[in-house]
Amino acid sequence: MPKQSVKTRNAPAVIGTYSQAVIAGQTVYLSGQIPLDPKTQELVGDDPRLEIARVFDNLAAVAAAAGGSLNDIVKLNVYLTDLKHFPLVNEIMAQYFSDPYPARAAIGVAALPRNARVEMDAVLVLGPK
């Protein structure tokens, strides 16, 4: 099956040897996003709420570049350096998603790139074209 790389300026530029997303058939695999501002490539600040929202905005930008949206996400993985922020993820996620919500995992990790506190990756399925 041929695969296609996704690239957009509306999400942070990649900082390694990977694609922002890869399309394989109707499935899109979104790489992990941390709370980087796509214009400055810097972390958005020191407020967990802003960080979580920025990650969802970054995922939305990559999903749009792939021809989809957050509503097409079927699996979301959330990585947190402090699981006490998990209730904030639920609160902010409710502003970006509606039922049926994607399947999800939340994982506590020791560290993330650029000392971010949150990272998320996702899998989405595009509808027929």
The SS3 call for residue 79 is strand
Structural domain boundaries, residue 57 = 3-125
Question: pLDDT tens across 22-37, in order?
Answer: 999 999 999 999 999 9
Query: What are 20's two structure tokens?
Result: 């922002």
> Taking the model in full, what pTM does it have?
0.96
Question: pLDDT tens across 81-125, in order?
Answer: 999 999 999 999 999 999 999 999 999 999 999 999 999 999 999
CATH of the domain at 87: 3.30.1330.40
Quote the number of domains for the chain: 1
pLDDT tier at 16, thresholds 50, 70, 90: confident
